[in-house]
C-alpha cells in the first residue's frame, strides 16, 4: 500500500528514505535505487489505482511518452511501473521547492518572475501537447523551482482520468484547492485538452500576480459555480501596481469558452512577455535586471543532485532567461542553454 509512511522500508530495488511530499495522487520519497546506485525521487501512487486497468494502462503509456520527450522543463523520468500492486515513478531528485511555497512565502510574485516561470512551464506544455499529451493538473504544487528559478512541470499522466472522458470530481477525489485550476468545461465531464492546460497556466499566472485564485470558494460547489457563471476581477483591480496589459492577457487565458483562449501555452506566454516588456519600456522607474542562470559545474542531464533547502522566496531570484528588463534580451524557450538541476517535493 502507498497510503502509509514507507520511510525506512524497501520497495522493490529501492531503499525508501524521507517523505518529501504527500498529495491526493500519492506520496513522494527520497529513495536510493540500489541497482543504479543513485538517489531519486520515488512517487508511489495509491494502491487502488493499480486495480483500475484503464488508468494503469494510460499511466504506463503516458509515462513512457514523457520519458522520451527530453524537454528541459519536464522533470526526467528514470523508470516507472508496478511493484507489489503499487504504481510508481522513479524521477530525478531536484533541488528546490514548488511554486506554492514561493507564493506562500511572499504572498505574490514580481511580474518579471511570474512571466519567466510561465514561459518555462509553457515550453513544457507545448512539448507535451505536440506529443499528444495533456497534463490535466497544472497548478503551483506541480511546478518545481530550483534556487535559480529554473522551472520543472511534474506529474504528467498522474491525474486520474480515462481516455476520452474525464471522471466526475467525486470519483477523482479532487480537493477544493485543485478545483480552482480546472477549466470550466471539465466540470461538464468534457475531455481535457490543450486548452484546459492553457486555462490552468492562466490561473497559475493570476494567482502568482495577485496572491489569490480567480474563483475562490469556501466549497467545491461555490468555486465551480463561480468559474462557470462569472468572470474573475482583472488582476489590476486587485493590485493597482500591476501593468494593465496583464489584464487582457490573463483574462483571455481564463476565457470560459476554450475557443476564446490562446491556441497554445506558448502564445499565452509570449503575450505575457509582450505585456511586461511594454510596461517596462514605459515605466519611469528602474526595473531590476536578473542575471542569467547557469547549470552547476559538472551537471548533465543524468546527474543526480542532493537536496538543499530553497532560499527565501522573497529574496533576489534569477531565471534562465538571461538579463531582461528593460533592455535585456527576451526569453525564448528555444534559446535555453540547458537545465539547472536540484530537488523538490512532488505531490
Binding residues for ATP: 43
Q: Which of 33, 98, 137, 149 is catalytic?
A: 137
Q: Could you tell me which residues are beta bridge partners of residue 90?
A: 42, 79
> Residues at the annotated binding site?
43
Residues 6+ apart with CB under 8 A from 151: 73, 99, 117, 120, 121, 124, 143, 144, 145, 319
Contact indicator for 78, 34 with CB cutoff of 8 Å: no
Q: Sign (positive/negative) of CA torsion 179, 234, 276, 149?
A: negative
Does residue 33 carry a catalytic annotation?
no
Active site residues: 137
Amino acid at each position: 500500500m502507498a497510503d502509509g509512511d514507507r520511510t525506512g522500508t524497501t520497495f522493490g530495488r529501492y531503499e525508501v528514505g524521507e517523505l518529501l511530499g504527500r498529495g491526493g495522487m500519492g506520496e513522494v520519497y527520497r529513495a536510493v535505487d540500489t541497482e543504479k546506485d543513485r538517489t531519486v525521487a520515488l512517487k508511489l501512487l495509491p494502491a487502488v489505482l493499480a486495480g483500475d486497468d484503464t488508468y494503469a494502462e494510460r499511466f504506463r503509456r503516458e509515462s513512457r511518452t514523457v520519458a522520451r520527450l527530453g524537454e528541459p522543463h519536464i522533470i526526467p523520468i528514470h523508470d516507472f511501473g508496478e511493484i507489489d500492486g503499487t504504481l510508481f515513478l522513479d524521477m530525478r531528485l531536484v533541488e528546490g521547492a514548488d511554486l506554492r511555497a514561493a507564493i506562500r512565502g511572499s504572498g505574490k510574485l514580481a511580474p518579471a518572475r511570474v512571466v519567466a516561470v510561465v514561459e518555462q512551464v509553457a515550453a513544457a506544455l507545448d512539448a507535451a501537447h505536440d506529443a499528444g499529451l495533456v497534463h490535466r493538473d497544472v497548478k503551483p504544487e506541480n511546478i518545481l523551482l530550483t534556487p535559480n528559478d529554473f522551472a520543472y512541470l511534474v506529474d504528467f499522466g498522474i491525474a486520474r482520468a480515462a481516455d476520452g472522458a474525464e471522471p466526475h470530481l467525486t470519483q477523482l477525489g479532487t480537493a477544493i484547492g485543485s478545483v480552482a485550476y480546472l477549466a470550466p468545461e471539465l466540470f461538464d465531464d468534457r475531455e481535457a485538452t490543450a486548452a484546459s492546460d492553457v486555462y490552468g497556466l492562466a490561473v497559475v499566472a493570476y494567482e502568482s500576480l495577485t496572491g489569490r485564485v480567480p474563483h475562490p470558494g469556501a466549497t467545491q460547489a461555490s468555486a465551480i459555480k463561480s468559474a462557470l457563471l462569472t468572470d474573475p476581477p482583472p488582476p489590476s483591480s486587485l493590485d493597482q501596481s500591476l501593468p494593465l496589459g496583464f489584464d487582457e492577457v490573463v483574462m483571455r487565458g481564463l476565457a470560459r469558452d476554450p475557443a476564446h483562449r490562446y491556441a497554445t501555452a506558448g502564445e499565452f506566454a509570449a503575450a505575457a512577455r509582450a505585456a511586461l516588456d511594454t510596461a517596462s519600456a514605459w515605466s519611469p522607474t528602474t526595473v531590476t535586471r536578473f542575471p542569467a542562470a547557469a547549470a552547476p559545474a559538472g551537471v548533465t542531464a543524468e546527474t543526480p543532485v542532493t537536496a538543499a533547502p530553497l532560499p527565501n522566496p522573497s529574496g533576489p531570484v534569477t531565471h534562465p532567461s538571461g538579463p531582461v528588463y528593460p533592455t535585456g534580451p527576451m526569453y525564448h524557450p528555444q534559446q535555453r542553454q540547458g537545465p539547472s538541476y536540484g530537488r523538490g517535493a512532488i505531490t
